[in-house]
Amino acid sequence: MNTTPLRLAVIVGSTREGRFGPVVADWFAERSRVHAGMEIDVIDLAEVDIPLVLSGEPNAGVATITPRLAAADAFVVVTPEYNHSYPASLKAAIDWHFTQWQGKPVGFVSYGGISGGLRAVEHLRQVFAELHTVTVRETVSFPMAWEKFDEDGKPLDGTAANGAAKRLLDQLLWWGHALRDAREKIPYAA
């Protein structure tokens, strides 16, 4: 078994002005950093120009994140819920890539109104299944997220939130190692 730390890409899916995503993503990235056995790469889609139209050659924004996605052993998507689904910016970033996702685990941290973004997660599970990923069961969800964090970006119920994050990270670590070992022995063929 390869004992090199797992490379986890935390993807911030919202690009909306005034978004709450960075608060949630920063908290989760910090939880990931203290979890043993992982190196963290935060990919904030608001910092790269990802075209919504899938035509022609990828632009510089796509080219910036492609090697980071390829290098990742596992992913966590931090997503809000927009109209019972996930943001177009996230869909575009997913769709510009294919092999970078294959044979790797994906976890979800969601936030939003009363449903806490879980409807967005259910849609994302279907999309990622088509990309030959394994989505882990555990999620972290924040209903009414803007009421769940203090002014320092820490969850008001840290025990529950940190426990949910640990369960998600434990599953990602297991799947990440299992799938990385498998990809090293036999290249994944879609």
pLDDT on residue 1: 73
| pTM for the full predicted model | 0.96
Q: What is the mean pLDDT of the chain?
A: 96
In the block, residue with structure tokens 């090199």:
4
Note the pLDDT tens digit of each residue in 113-155.
Answer: 999 999 999 999 999 999 999 999 999 999 999 999 999 999 9
Which of 20, 92, 113, 103 shows the shortest CA–CA distance to 28?
Answer: 20
CB 119 within 8 A of CB 83: no
Which of 150, 134, 30 shows the shortest CA–CA distance to 78?
Answer: 30
Could you give the C-alpha distances from 79 to 43, 173, 178, in angstroms and in order? 12, 20, 26
- Distance in angstroms between the alpha carbons of the first and the last residue of the chain: 23
Strands of the chain (E only): list them: 6-12, 38-44, 74-80, 105-112, 134-143
Residue 139's DSSP bridge partners are: 108
Note the pLDDT tens digit of each residue in 14-64.
Answer: 999 999 999 999 999 999 999 989 999 999 999 999 998 988 889 999 999
CA distance 118 to 130: 19
Which of 142, 86, 83, 84 shows the shortest CA–CA distance to 116?
Answer: 142
pLDDT on residue 105: 98
